[in-house]
Structure 1
Amino acid sequence: MKEYALKAQDSQVLTKVVCNCCGREIPLMREGIREEYFHGVKTWGYFSNQDGRQDSFDLCQECYEKMIEGFQIKMH
């Protein structure tokens, strides 16, 4: 989950990234650079139960690794 603050002229600045799975804040390493994390986005199409909905989420590295461990078909 990303949190933004409004700046002058209606621009947004990223202020915080939180893992949607464990709730841990992704640390800021230096000057706007954050520790690596996974950001997923999906816009659902007409032939789905979520027609037109857009979902997005962020995972820390540990939660991402746990998620892919459960895959039946392993990634290369």
Structure 2
Amino acid sequence: MTTELPPTFVTITLDEDATGTRFTAHLRYQSAVDGERAFSRGVERGFGQALDQLDALLALKPIDDAVQPGTHVAGR
């Protein structure tokens, strides 16, 4: 049995709502067995930690409205 996580296909959507921005993430796997294997190895906890780190980074500096969606800005 391998210790590697199976490939994960992630779709992230950001939508404005009345209170701010709604973040939705969909994680898909090639099979239910792959999904179960990933979650049994802590993918949910790891994904949550990554989001916490992103939240902390975004809190450091205001977002520049001139940056277009999908543009990578070094240092952010």
- Which of the pair is proportionally richer in helix? 2
- Which of the pair is proportionally richer in strand? 1
Q: TM-score, normalised by structure 2?
A: 0.30
Q: TM-score, normalised by structure 1?
A: 0.30
